[in-house]
């Protein structure tokens, strides 16, 4: 993820090069020992114009716009809607983990500490939305979900246990945190609109991001 954001800032492109020759790898500052047939590499915009080299490219900024989600901690299998504990993964960053523990405190029993094991990061572009859904992939629904909003402002709808229940609308700003616990864990919720105009912007960001920290323990592939 860091490589992608860094590539966007430096206006790079992602290129696919099959059978890289020595002169191309030298231009990319990569050794031949690191090159395998069919590689994807971030490079400067002019580096894909090598005569005779089969090469496809796409701007890093285009890839970033297509990004919809990423995961921290345990990896989530969207095709099976389960956590796959067999996949390699890193722990949630310490600072984020500490923040989630602190924010979840009011919803935890006395003497019990929230232990976030996974976080799903949803990215929204100017015209994106998130339909009503339940966060029902965890084995233990008694533990809360800490939802952190970053970037643009947005409307958050919290409904009931049925899609027919009239939702409550909340206005989220960058830095707002929604703590979903108790009966709220069983309620449908979604994002129908984000605000990207300059007058409504709290920060200079073209996107809205929701980062949900949760404890899975585990409902998934073991």
CB 199 within 8 A of CB 121: no
Q: What is the mean pLDDT of the chain?
A: 78
Report the CATH fold assignment for 68-221: Jelly Rolls (2.60.120)
Give pLDDT, residue 191: 94
CB 28 within 8 A of CB 47: yes
CA distance 2 to 124: 18
CA distance 199 to 207: 15
| Measured CA distances, 139 to 15, 26, 27, 52, 144 (Å) | 41, 51, 50, 54, 12
Position 36 pLDDT exceeds 70: no
| Residue 133 annotated in ligand binding | yes
Give pLDDT, residue 152: 86
Q: pTM for this structure?
A: 0.73
| Residue 197 annotated in ligand binding | no
- Which residues of the chain form CATH 2.60.120.590? 68-221
Of 92-101, 121-130, 178-187, least confident by mean pLDDT is: 121-130
**Which pLDDT band, with edges at 50, 70 and 90, does 220 fall under?**
very low
Burial tier of 15 (Cβ tally within 10 Å: 0-12, 13-18, 19+): buried
3-state helix, strand, coil in the chain (%, to 5): 25, 35, 45
Residues in a beta bridge with 168 = 158
**Which pLDDT band, with edges at 50, 70 and 90, does 180 fall under?**
very high
């Amino acid at each position: 993820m860091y490589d992608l954001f860094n590539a966007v800032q430096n206006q790079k492109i992602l290129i696919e090069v099959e059978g890289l020759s020595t002169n191309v790898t030298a231009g990319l500052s990569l050794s031949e020992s690191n090159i395998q047939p069919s590689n994807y590499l971030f490079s400067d915009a002019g580096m894909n114009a090598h005569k005779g080299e089969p090469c496809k490219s796409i701007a890093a900024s285009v890839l970033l716009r297509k990004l919809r989600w990423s995961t921290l901690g345990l990896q989530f299998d969207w095709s099976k809607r389960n956590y796959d504990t067999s996949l390699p993964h890193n722990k949630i960053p310490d600072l984020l983990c500490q923040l989630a523990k602190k924010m979840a405190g009011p919803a935890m029993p006395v003497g019990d500490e929230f232990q976030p094991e996974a976080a799903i990061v949803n990215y929204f572009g100017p015209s994106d939305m998130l339909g009503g859904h339940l966060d029902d992939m965890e084995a233990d629904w008694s533990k809360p979900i800490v939802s952190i909003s970053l970037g643009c402002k947005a409307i958050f709808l919290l409904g009931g246990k049925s899609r027919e229940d009239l939702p409550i609308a909340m206005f989220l700003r960058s830095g707002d945190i929604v703590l979903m616990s108790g009966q709220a864990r069983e309620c449908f919720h979604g994002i129908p609109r984000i605000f990207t105009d300059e007058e409504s912007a709290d920060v200079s960001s073209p996107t809205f991001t929701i980062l949900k920290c949760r404890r899975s323990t585990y409902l998934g592939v073991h």
